[in-house]
Copies of this chain bind each other. A is one copy, B any other.
Amino acid sequence: MQQEADRIVQTLKSKGLRVTPQRFAVYANLLTRADHPTVEQILCDLNQNAPTSSQATVYTSLQTLRDAGLVREVLLDEGVCRYDANIVPHHHFRCKCCGEIEDIAWDQFQGIDLHQLRPGLKVDSYEVTVYGVCDRCDVE
């Protein structure tokens, strides 16, 4: 996956960010994951084999990547911040049981008419969060 690595390096540089091993690792890790990991999960993942990055660095890396628009935070109803390298707008499904977060394609929900909001509110973005139970938890 040399190509992949190069692309990541290019992406980082294009945002004016220095390419450090830690920052690279955080972003690369996030890109390969489909879930929405917490800082702790990322940290464990990175340091699983060899020590790669300290906790504080993961925090600041994520902050930098967020400011650069490469990742976004997902904050649902728990006390932790999750991160997502999927920048394309999408909705979320959250399992009340296992806490997993699953993406819902943007065009899944049609017919949301923001023009009916009261005048005076300038809309930047919106998203739908669905709460429920996923099939992995719903075993009877």
Chain A residues engaging chain B, CB cutoff 8 angstroms: 73, 75-78, 93, 96, 102, 104, 108-114, 116-117, 120-135, 138
Contacts and interface: CB of A to CB of B under 8 A. Distances in A.
Q: Which label, helix, strand, loop or mixed, suits the secondary structure of the A interface? A: mixed
A17 to B, nearest CB: 23
A11 to B, nearest CB: 24
A96 B102 CA distance: 25
A122 B121 CA distance: 33
Contacts of A116: 108
19 contacts: A75-B76, A93-B121, A96-B124, A104-B117, A108-B116, A108-B117, A109-B111, A110-B111, A111-B111, A111-B112, A112-B112, A112-B128, A120-B134, A121-B132, A121-B134, A121-B135, A124-B133, A126-B129, A127-B128
Name the residue in A75, A104, A109, A111 with the highest tally of chain B Cβ atoms < 10 Å from its Cβ. Answer: A109
Nearest to A126: B130
A109 B91 CA distance: 15
A24 to B, nearest CB: 26
4 closest A-B pairs by CB:
A111-B111, A120-B135, A126-B130, A123-B132
A130 B129 CA distance: 11
A112 B102 CA distance: 18
A104 B121 CA distance: 11
